[in-house]
């Protein structure tokens, strides 16, 4: 059975997709990273990455994975970078106004969380089976969208955990409404919320409508698995094998999750997302 929501159009909000060309390289400066399999060197928060050029572009963007910066290729700011750069700080960079740098770095992770919530709420509004919560979702989206256009002081004062809690209630309800079309999806057998499935053998598993919210699927073998209408919000898909898997109609899957996994030309992805370039490498 194929979910009607599998055929929904791509999400319309271009401003919820990262546009590095209009950002001041905030993810390359504001955020810290530690030397590991994901990053070739240590970097403190507020310190520009050594690969950041004067035009705020990455000097090794085309070879990030080969040069040991795989972590950069799976990060997604949901468009928060350009919003902070062009709206909150009116297009004036931290290089032009060093006195604004610290505030800009502090605002960026707040904005990213808000933009992530906007992404999920936009998806709720695109899900026909979640019509019962559309009105509440629209109200929440408009409120958060207005907040993202506030000044830095108001953004830093926002109670983001409370906002996330309210939105999560809506997302849970929307997920249940969508997954209810799959027989047994709301029962115990398909409830894997927060489950430790690291390295699990799930080849060709029937996971239609499954609750995989926050599940640890690191290096799990999901080759040929049926994940249609599965709720994947917060699921850790690092190095998960998705060759031949069907993710169409999956709920709350993000580009960052796909980027962290391994798929191939036969992997079916939702219309709102793109097939990662490294899958074909």
Give per-residue pLDDT as tens, 249-268: 999 999 999 999 999 999 99
> Measuring CA to CA, how many Å separate 149 from each of 83, 111, 242?
8, 10, 38
C-alpha–C-alpha distance, residues 269 and 274, integer Å: 7
Which single residue is written with the structure tokens 């310190």?
A: 47
Band (5; pLDDT cuts 50, 70, 90): very low
Q: What is the pLDDT of residue 9?
A: 42
CA distance 197 to 34: 25
Domains by residue range for the chain, with CATH:
14-179 (no CATH), 183-281 (2.160.20.80)
- Eight-class DSSP state of 5: G
Give me the long-range contacts of 215-223 (CB less than 8 A, separation at least 24): none
pLDDT exceeds cutoff 60 at 4: no
Cα distance between residue 50 and residue 29, in whole Å: 10
Q: Cα separation of 220 and 265, whole Å?
A: 19
**What's the pLDDT tens digit per position in 220-242?**
999 999 999 999 999 999 999 99
Asked whether the predicted pLDDT for residue 139 surpasses 80, the reply is: yes
Instruction: Compare 79 and 281 and report the one with higher pLDDT.
Output: 79
How far from 133 is each of 8, 138, 163, 174, 258, CA to CA, in Å? 17, 9, 17, 7, 27
């Amino acid at each position: 059975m194929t979910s009607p929501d599998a055929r929904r159009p791509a999400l319309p909000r271009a401003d919820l997709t990262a546009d590095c060309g209009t950002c001041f390289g905030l993810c390359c400066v504001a955020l810290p990273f530690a030397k590991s399999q994901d990053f070739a060197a240590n970097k403190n928060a507020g310190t520009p990455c050594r690969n950041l050029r004067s035009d705020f572009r990455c000097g090794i963007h085309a070879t990030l994975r080969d040069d040991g910066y795989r972590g950069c290729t799976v990060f997604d700011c949901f468009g928060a970078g350009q919003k902070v750069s062009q709206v909150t700080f009116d297009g004036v960079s931290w290089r032009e106004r060093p006195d604004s740098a610290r505030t800009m770095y502090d605002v960026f992770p707040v904005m990213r969380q808000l933009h992530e919530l906007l992404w999920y709420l936009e998806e709720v509004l695109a899900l026909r089976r979640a019509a019962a919560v559309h009105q509440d979702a629209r109200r929440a989206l408009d409120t958060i969208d207005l907040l993202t256009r506030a000044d830095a002081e108001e953004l830093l004062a926002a109670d983001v955990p409370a906002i996330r809690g309210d939105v999560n209630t809506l997302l849970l309800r929307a997920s249940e409404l969508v997954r209810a079309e799959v027989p047994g999806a709301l029962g115990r057998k398909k409830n894997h919320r927060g489950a430790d499935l690291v390295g699990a053998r799930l080849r060709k598993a029937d996971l239609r409508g499954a609750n995989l919210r926050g599940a640890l699927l690191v290096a799990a073998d999901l080759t040929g698995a049926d994940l249609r209408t599965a709720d994947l919000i917060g699921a850790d898909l690092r190095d998960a094998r998705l060759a031949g898997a069907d993710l169409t109609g999956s709920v709350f899957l993000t580009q960052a999750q796909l980027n962290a996994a391994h798929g191939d030309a036969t992997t079916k992805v939702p219309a709102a997302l793109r097939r990662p370039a490294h899958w074909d490498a």
